[in-house]
């Protein structure tokens, strides 16, 4: 079945460092891909999405490109801030059920 795999955390970075969180997926067909962020004690918020191959999603300085050839959707940010500390989830979805397949989440901690 469909699945999403993320790099294991926690990821600890200093402020202004470059961030990459790897995400790969397996799916039949061509799913839509998402990155969600969860701040401590809160629900998830959509960070960015891409619905077809080669699309780039971007928001708040974060970017991810839908790579069909490598079945990947890696999250990047050029300069992280302490306020970016959170858990990041990669997810894929297809069809008309609204069902999303989530990765296990990657915790990011940014130190001043």
Partner 1 sequence: DGGITQSPKYLFRKEGQNVTLSCEQNLNHDAMYWYRQDPGQGLRLIYYSQIVNDFQKGDIAEGYSVSREKKESFPLTVTSAQKNPTAFYLCASSVGLAVYNEQFFGPGTRLTVL
Q: Given the rule CB under 8 A, which residues bind partner 1?
A: 4, 31-32, 36, 41-46, 49, 51, 89, 91, 93-105
Least Å distance, CB 85 to partner 1, is 17
Least Å distance, CB 78 to partner 1, is 25
CA distance 26 to 73: 11
Nearer to partner 1, 43 or 112 (CB): 43
Residue 42 phi, psi (nearest 5): -120, 170
Least Å distance, CB 93 to partner 1, is 4
């Amino acid at each position: 079945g469909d699945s999403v795999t993320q790099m294991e955390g926690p990821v600890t970075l200093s402020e202004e460092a470059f961030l990459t969180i790897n995400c790969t997926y397996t799916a039949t067909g061509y799913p839509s891909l998402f990155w969600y962020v969860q701040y401590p004690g809160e629900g998830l918020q959509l960070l960015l999405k891409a619905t077809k191959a080669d699309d780039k999603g971007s928001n708040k300085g974060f970017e991810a490109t839908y790579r069909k050839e490598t079945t990947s959707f890696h999250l990047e940010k050029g300069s992280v801030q302490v306020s970016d500390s959170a858990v990041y989830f990669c997810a894929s979805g297809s069809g008309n059920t609204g069902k999303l397949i989530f990765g296990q989440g990657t915790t990011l901690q940014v130190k001043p």
